[in-house]
Each structure stands twice: as structure tokens, then as C-alpha cells.
Structure 1
Amino acid sequence: MKLLLILSLLLLGTVSSLHLIQYSFHFPFPENEALEPEASEEEKALAQELETPEEEDNLTIRDEEDDDEGEESEAAEDDDNLCPKEEDVVRMLGSPGCETCRFLIVNKPRKFKRAQKICRRCYHGHLVSIHSSHTNHLIRCSASRINQSQIWIGARIFRKRFCWVDGSRWTFSYWAAGQPGNGGGRCVALCTRGGHWRRAPCKRRLPFACSY
């Protein structure tokens, strides 16, 4: 009788142990959870920033979509006569100490993307990049002759940073008051009165400055 009682107790203990092991696999003990360190406040903020789209990103995406709108019709109109006529061009001298630096302003308004295409195809250059106050002043003075309030220069936002379309380094800027933070659009225009820069939607049609 005692032997049967002992065997029953041993069997009950074995079953209880098996249930305890199975439970531990499904529900880890608290000390196992503590093995994974809790993320710092900085890491949490970074993760939240990466997951949450910024308003500026949404704006620039809309601008980029709008920039392509009507591009085909514009191309169909001008592909045969892509290059501007001479009377639509204001040519400028280069900067001192740079004999190969040449600039011109095209008076015929175009979207940013189209303006860059004209600079490349017609003059083997790019929308102008500006790296000094002297160059900025030179372009502003020449642009003031065309009686327009703004012209495109070769600056735009790419991956949340301002850059030049010719790939040169961003070493100079001349923003108007409140810019670029309060501006809209991902492309940059130079104001012919004062020479300051403002952000503008890339779909806007403006005269533009090329360097070649």
C-alpha cells in the first residue's frame, strides 16, 4: 500500500514538473525579459521621427508631382525649338579669376526641370550655382534687366538638404528673411530686387540663369 502511495506521489510530481516547463516556454519569467535593454529616450525619438512623415516631405512630394504635370505638353511644344532665341538671352561676363566661368539669363519662363534641360542641351552647362556674394550680385544685376521679380538658380532640396544641380558643394547662401524655413516648394529662386533667395514650387514658370 505504501509502495503504491509513493509511486502515485512520484508520478504526480513528474506531471507537475512537465506542466511547469511547458508554461515557462509560453510565458518567460520576468528575469528573462530584463535581458533585453530598454531603448533610450534618444533612440525612441529617432524611431518616431523616422516613422512619422514631416509636413515638408509631403509638400515636396506634391511639388514634384506637380512639376511633372504638363511636362509632356511643354516638351511637345518646344522640342523642335528647344534652345532660346538670341533676343531672349542676356549674356554675362565670368567671375574674376575664372576665365571659363560664363553665365547667361534666359528670359523665357520655364519650369525648373525644363530650365535645367535647356541649360544642358543648348549650352552644355547647368542652372547656375552661386558660391560668392560677387557672383550673386553679378547675376542679380543682369537679371534686373529682364523686368521679372524672380529667376531660377540651380539650387533645390534633395533628401532634405539643399544642393546644387551641377554637383558642386554648398558653400554660400543668401536667403531672404524667414527663408528657407518658412518657404514652400523644393526649388530655389533668386529675387531680382535685392538678390535674396526664396523657395518656390518647381512647377512655377520663371526665367532662369545658366552657367556653362
Structure 2
Amino acid sequence: MKYPLLLPLLLLGTVAALHLDKDAPYLKSAKIQADMGQDGDGSGKQERESALTAEVIETEGEEVEASGYQDTFEVKEAVESDPAASPKDLVCPKEEDTIQIQENTGCKNCHFLLVLTPSTFDNAQRICRRCYHGNLVSIHSYNFNYHVHCIASRANQAQVWIGGIMKGTCLWQKFYWTDGSCWNFGFWAPGQPGNGKGHCVAMSTKEGRWQRICCKSHLPFVCSY
């Protein structure tokens, strides 16, 4: 009498087992997709963090490049304009070939030196840097231009180098100072700088006005340190 009751129960159990087996792949697939979603979120987070890190590194690289302009100018520009020149061949001017002047510019620790020995622009900058730990002089006001002119007027040539140089091509050309300071003043001669034929800036010893001339010209120069 017990067997007729057991038979329906066995049939119900078999049907239930079949349904579970049928649903199992879907349950397993859902679990895999959920796990992949979690991994995807983690991977996305890592990608975002990597991108942010790369951006920070790139930005820092730009800052380093900007702050290292002076060293880049000293090495790269000298090699481009005069491949035979070498820092090892640099000879500091003799004392009798220089005039040291302390002008009343309002800066107690500022020193200016007129080097009478003519040199190319690049070598002049290297001498200011290596021999006097300074740069070719930069000028940011009319008053200061007057003081530099007073120094330059003691030179034995019609022009002297100051620290201005033009960089770039075509419409993107800009002027820079070799000491890295802001270009915020100009005292150009008539027709300048548009009609200039060079990329380096010289000051007239007669009028104190500026001209663009060839960087390979040999002129006296004024160092600031």
C-alpha cells in the first residue's frame, strides 16, 4: 500500500531536479557576468588612475622643461650656431678687457660687467654664465635701459649684445631673455624689430635703442650677475 504513495513523490522530485538543472546555466552565467562586472569596475578604476598618473607626469615634465630653459639655451644654441665651439675651450676675459660698473638701479646686489672683447651672442651668454654666474643683461623698463645704455656707451663698438633672442617660426616668433625672465618691455630703433635680419638683440651704444642682428656677429656685451 505504501508503494502507490511513493511513486507520485518520486515523480515530483525528478521534475524538480530537471528544472533546477535547466536553470543552472543561467544562474552560473549571471554569476560570471556579475563577477566580470566587478572586475570591469576594478579595471576601469585602474585605467582611470593610470591615466591620471600619466597626466601628472606629463604636466611635471612640462614644468621641468620650462624651468630648465637656461641650461637648454646654453648647450643647444651654442652647438647650433657654432658646432666647433666647446665649453672646454671657453676662456674667461682678462680683467683689463672688462669694465665692472655698479649703477644706481635700486638693486643693491646687482652687478654689471661690460666685456670689451667681441664675441658671438652664444659665446657671450656662455661667458656670462660660466665666468660670472650670470646672464646677458635683460631689460624691463626705460629707466633700466638708460642705465644699461650708460654702461654700453663705454664699449669700443657701435653695438653691444643684450640678452634678447627671437625664437619660433613664421607667425609664432617670440622674443625671450636668456635669464628666463618675462619679456615685458622693448626699446626698438625705428623699423625694428620687423625689418631686422637676425634673431639676436643688440643695443646701440649711441642711442640705447635695440636692433635685431645676426647672432654670429662679434660684439662686446653686458653681463648681469
Q: 1:194 aligns with which of 204, 207, 212?
A: 207
How far is the alpha carbon of 1:154 from its aligned partner?
0.2
C-alpha distance 109-71 of structure 1, shift in aligned 2 (>3 A): farther
Q: Deviations over 1:106-128 (max 9, x none)?
A: 00111111110000000000000
Q: Deviations over 1:32-69 (max 9, x none)?
A: xxxxxxxxxxxxxxxxxxxxxxxxxxxxxxxx999846
Q: What is the alpha-carbon distance in structure 2 between the residues aligned to residue 120 and residue 77 of structure 1?
A: 14
Q: 1:146 aligns with which of 150, 155, 160?
A: 155
Q: 1:130 aligns with which of 128, 135, 139?
A: 139
Q: Does 1:92 align with 2:96?
A: no
Q: Deviations over 1:73-115 (max 9, x none)?
A: x549943xx1100111111114432112211110011111111
Q: What amino acid maps onto 1:178 in structure 2?
A: G
Q: What is the alpha-carbon distance in structure 1 between the residues aligned to residue 151 and residue 83 of structure 2?
A: 28
Paired residues for 1:148-163 under 5 Å: 148-159=157-168, 160-163=173-176
Paired residues for 1:1-212 under 5 Å: 68=80, 70-72=82-84, 75=86, 78-79=89-90, 82-159=91-168, 160-212=173-225
Normalised by the length of structure 2, the TM-score is: 0.60
Normalised by the length of structure 1, the TM-score is: 0.63
The runs of 4+ residues in structure 1 deviating greater than 6 Å are 64-67
CA contact (8 A) 2:145 2:208 kept: yes
> Can you give the 5+ residue segments of structure 1 that lack an aligned partner in the other structure?
1-63
Q: What amino acid maps onto 1:108 in structure 2?
A: T
More helix by share: 2
Q: Deviations over 1:4-52 (max 9, x none)?
A: xxxxxxxxxxxxxxxxxxxxxxxxxxxxxxxxxxxxxxxxxxxxxxxxx
Residues 129-138 or 84-93, more deviating: 129-138
Q: What amino acid maps onto 1:174 in structure 2?
A: F
C-alpha distance 96-163 of structure 1, shift in aligned 2 (>3 A): same
C-alpha distance 182-106 of structure 1, shift in aligned 2 (>3 A): same
* Rg comparison, structure with higher value: 2
Q: What is the alpha-carbon distance in structure 2 between the residues aligned to residue 95 and residue 129 of structure 1?
A: 16
CA contact (8 A) 1:95 1:135 kept: no
Residue 18 of structure 1 aligns with which residue?
A: none
Q: What is the alpha-carbon distance in structure 1 between the residues aligned to residue 112 and residue 77 of structure 2?
A: 30
Determine which structure has greater relative contact order: mean sequence separation of CA pairs < 8 Å that are 6+ residues apart, divided by chain length. 1
Q: Over the residues paired in the alignment, what is the CA RMSD in angstroms?
A: 2.3
CA contact (8 A) 1:188 1:200 kept: yes
How far is the alpha carbon of 1:139 from its aligned partner?
1.8
CA contact (8 A) 2:137 2:163 kept: yes
> Can you give the 5+ residue segments of structure 2 that lack an aligned partner in the other structure?
1-75
Q: For 1:146, what is the secondary structure of its paired residue?
A: coil
Q: What amino acid maps onto 1:118 in structure 2?
A: I
Q: What amino acid maps onto 1:202 in structure 2?
A: C
